[in-house]
Amino acid sequence: MNNTLETMVTNWQPIAPLVAVPYTETEYQERVALLNDLIDEVGENEDHPLASLLDIVGIAVSNYEQAHYPIPTSTPQDVLAYLMAEHQLKQSDLPEIGSQGVVSEILRGKRQLNVRQIRALAQRFCVTADVFL
């Protein structure tokens, strides 16, 4: 065994539990707590001695979340309804889509958004048009 591996074997045991891939909810919560501590310590300082550890723990947390907490798919109607609620808008507040009746039909799924409407909504809400597709 070379010197590098010997050093790693000696020093790895205290560190391994902190950076091991989380497989359970408890391990995930421990990594999230560590990640939060690292963010508080490292901040935006890419030259901080723990910056690479922050990256490693962040990747482990992200991978766990992608596997266990998938983002549900939404319909364009769901997205529009959400944005309207967030901005406290009524159906009549969206003339760029059409009349209140047209907006109502879109929200009920009886009518689909067209390209012009999607572009207008994306611009109004400062989002990518992809959220409506």
111-122: pLDDT as tens digits: 999 999 999 999
In the numeric block, the tokens 């929200």 are attached to 107
Say what the pLDDT of residue 13 is. Answer: 87
Instruction: Look at residues 127, 129, 125 and name the one whose alpha carbon lies nearest to residue 87.
Output: 125
CA distance 32 to 29: 5
Residue 69 in tokens: 């907490």
Q: Is 83 helix (H, G, I), strand (E, B) or coil?
A: helix
Residue 38 in tokens: 């690292």
In the numeric block, the tokens 């909504």 are attached to 121
Q: Show the CA angle centred on residue 39, arms to residues 70 and 45, nearest 5°.
A: 125
Percent of the chain topping pLDDT 90:
77
Whole-model pTM: value is 0.56
Say what the pLDDT of residue 19 is. Answer: 83
Say what the pLDDT of residue 2 is. Answer: 84
CA distance 17 to 27: 9
Instruction: Look at residues 94, 97, 102 and name the one whose alpha carbon lies nearest to residue 116.
Output: 97
CA distance 42 to 54: 8
How many CB atoms are closer than 10 A to CB 26?
9
Residue 129 in contact with residue 122, Cβ under 8 Å?
Answer: yes
pLDDT at 133 over 90: no
Residue ranges with strand state E in the chain: none
pLDDT at 65 over 80: yes
